[in-house]
Amino acid sequence: MKTIKSMMEHLYWANGHVLEALEESKTKDKDLLKLVRHVAVAERVWLSRLQRKGSAQYSLWDETDDLSAIWTMFQENTEQYRIYIEELEESELDKMIDYTNQSGVPFQTSVRDILLQVLLHGQYHRGQINRALRMESAAPSQVDYITFARL
């Protein structure tokens, strides 16, 4: 549990750093903003599944130019994940969650694997976002776990 909690704290921290880098870059790249919004919405989708709520109302790939709305989504996600993780017992990590994906296909996945998906999915896309920032000659954000761990 300690590792998952630490990795989740890194996720919140890294999301904030990427958003700051996007703000500083003043990017208008719609694909880049769509990608960062995708990360926020995907976090919300997985949290809904963990809470045994539906996720069909979420659209993963909508376009946006509103970075402040994305900030708000990430802040809400952080608050809700912190509550969820704080109440989660280690014995519940292997509990299976039944859910339907965004295409309506049913699946069953453990809490542990869902949390790992959230963590790894975000890190993958933050790397893509940093690459896109570099291509725009903007400063990328240092979001490696070790940077967070050294704080």
**What residue numbers does the annotated binding site cover?**
38, 121, 125
**What residue numbers does the annotated binding site for a divalent metal cation cover?**
38, 121, 125
- CATH number for position 124: 1.20.120.450
HEC profile for 49-88?
HHCCCCCCCCCCCCCCCCHHHHHHHHHHHHHHHHHHHHHC
What is the C-alpha separation between 107 and 30, in angstroms, rounded? 32
Domain containing 113: what range?
Answer: 2-149
Q: What is the residue-level pLDDT of the chain in tens, covering all 151 positions?
A: 999 999 999 999 999 999 999 999 999 999 999 999 999 999 999 999 999 999 999 999 999 999 999 999 999 999 999 999 999 999 999 999 999 999 999 999 999 999 999 999 999 999 999 999 999 999 999 999 999 999 9
Model-level pTM? 0.95
Neighbours of 70 (CB within 10 A): 20
The answer to whether 63 and 33 have CB atoms below 8 angstroms apart is: yes
- Quick one: CA dihedral 129, 131, 136, 137, positive or negative? positive
| Structural domains of the chain, count | 1
Tokens (6 digits) for 121: 């999915």
Tokens (6 digits) for 53: 């709520």
